[in-house]
Amino acid sequence: MKSEIIGVGTELLLGQIANTNAQWISKELAHYGISVYFHSAVGDNIDRVEKTFEQAADRSDIVFVTGGLGPTEDDLTRDAASRLFQAELIEDIQSLANIEGYFAKNNRRMTENNRKQALVLNGGRVLANEEGMAPGQLYHYKDTLFVFLPGVPSEMKRLMTEQVFPYLVHNYQLESEIKSEMLRFIGIGESQLEHDLQDLISSQSNPTIAPLAGEGDVAIRLTASGANAAELLASLKTEILERVGAHYFGSDSITIEEAVQDILVQKGLKAGAAESLTGGKFIEKLISLKGASAVCEGGFVVYTPDAKKSILQVPADIIDSYGTVSEQCAAKMAENAQKLLNIDIAISFTGVAGPTESEGHQPGLVYIGLKAKDAPASVSRYYFDGSRDKIRGRAVVKGYELLFHYLKKII
């Protein structure tokens, strides 16, 4: 069964709001074995909306339409559908009563244009909207079921959950459930990951494998269908992790900072940071997580040489002899942060974010120091390409990568 989702509203095309409705519907449809083949967004133009509906009817079994059911002149979903389906728009008595009741309950005067929200396609099935005003509707056009839904997410979700999904289960022979899992990796490039799994990717059928690049990490989306979808996913995941599991940090929506936090919690450790070019970006990510106080004592932002000396107590002779952008300075920053914060592990960042060189070094040079427990500090040197913001961002991600792998190794 093929389905697609259409979002109606110029605000979607202008980027004023994100089409989270399509994301939610797609995810929920997978639980019912309904595949989504297309996502579309169309502006508030009746000809284009009608054409989009016509195209959808030619290629899909079910079409979910969100938005365009409001009271204003640019809410054109009903009119476009009426024109394409050659179905009269009629006023639904119960929907009008709900709308009038809404205004009365809120002690507001109902303007005439709000009656428009009670208009429905003659011959369709009305979906009463208990969360808002405009009703939804199911309408069969040729061999395609159109599901018209309000654009307000809370209203759409309630209609889908309480009325649309039960209708589909009762009236359609649905496929077995579709299951999907996103495996996330760090410290390995997309091309290397694909190379290591090439035979699995080339021979894929069910489950399918799709490598995806991210900002500093890479992911593999596994998708399986059928009665044994969960078992198929688990088996393939095991095989993949046997090959590249050293770089795996979690599944689905987990971030690398959440993975680091999880290990810190498991091992009962506290971490902190001393940051120069990253300006607090590293510690901000960690502190943003729920429960951060259990694993994070704090951090220092020491941007200038004077701040490094006075706040972090980096000896003047290190800065005078080697500079702030150096292995020696990064090591001392990590050592002193660990000591001053009285923590188990500290990470430090120093380097040149640009746009101009500093201390004779080109933009992109970054030193990251790690100091854990009684072990000596270790420092890694990197060159990152890109703008000032990209260099800083990549340094933060690399810091989390280093910390993640280090934490996995220690007792």
- What CATH code is carried by the domain that includes residue 61? 3.40.980.10
Is 310 found in the same domain as 279? yes
C-alpha distance from residue 232 to each of 94, 184, 207 (Å): 48, 18, 7
pTM of the predicted structure, to 2 decimals: 0.72
Neighbouring CB atoms inside 10 A of 393's CB total 18
For the stretch 317-373, pLDDT in tens is 999 999 999 999 999 999 999 999 999 999 999 999 999 999 999 999 999 999 998
Is 241 found in the same domain as 222? yes
Measured between alpha carbons, how far apart are the two ends of the chain, in Å?
51
Q: In this structure, what token pair is assigned to residue 297?
A: 């004592």
For the stretch 326-340, pLDDT in tens is 999 999 999 999 999
For the stretch 257-279, pLDDT in tens is 999 999 999 999 999 999 999 99
For the stretch 28-71, pLDDT in tens is 998 888 999 999 999 999 999 999 999 999 999 999 999 999 99
Is 90 found in the same domain as 22? yes
- pLDDT given at position 79: 97
Structural domain span for residue 136: 2-171
Is 117 found in the same domain as 58? yes
Last residue of a domain, one of 191, 220, 251: 251
Contact assessment for residue 50 and residue 185, using Cβ atoms and an 8 Å cutoff: no
Is 284 found in the same domain as 233? no
* Least confident window among 6-20, 81-95, 203-217, 249-263: 203-217
- What CATH code is carried by the domain that includes residue 333? 3.90.950.20
Is 214 found in the same domain as 283? no
Q: Compute the half-sphere exposure of residue 336: CA atoms within 13 Å on the CB side of its CA.
A: 20
Is 126 found in the same domain as 37? yes
**pLDDT band per the 50, 70, 90 thresholds, residue 107:** confident
Last residue of a domain, one of 230, 251, 272: 251
What gap in Å lies between CA 372 and CA 381, rounded to an integer?
A: 18
Is 393 found in the same domain as 282? yes
Is 234 found in the same domain as 382? no
Tally of structural domains, the chain: 3
- The stretch 119-141 carries a mean pLDDT of 95
Last residue of a domain, one of 171, 201, 232: 171
Is 184 found in the same domain as 66? no
- pLDDT given at position 176: 66
Is 261 found in the same domain as 149? no
- What CATH code is carried by the domain that includes residue 194? 3.30.70.2860
Is 141 found in the same domain as 83? yes
**pLDDT band per the 50, 70, 90 thresholds, residue 397:** very high
